[in-house]
Amino acid sequence: MGGVDTSKWKPRKARGTLSYRFGNWFSLGVITAGVSIFSIYYFLIIDGNKFVEKYTEKFLTLSEEEKDRKFFIRNSFLPQKSGDQIRKYMKEFQNDTTR
């Protein structure tokens, strides 16, 4: 009768096989996707108001100096003015408006 040829058997362990590596990479991808989706959901949906107020308040609110600076930059067709020149023009403008 002879013995049983064990070389044709399936491997008893998954470790070291292609399916083992694929399973590890797949689970890592699922965990990474879950963490990223949760973090986006948490920071933008649940805690969105605090997040928006904290990080965008300083970018969305313009001070008077910033508005004046942008006005001078936008409306000047001459070469850019230095800070001293802009301050001088602002003082002249304020003096003209107070009269």
- 60-82 pLDDT tens trace: 777 888 888 888 777 776 677 78
Place of tokens 């949760």: 38
| pTM beyond 0.85 | no
Chain-centre distance for alpha carbon 83: 33
- Judge whether 69 and 86 are in contact, CB under 8 Å: yes
pLDDT per position as a tens digit, 49-62: 776 677 777 777 77
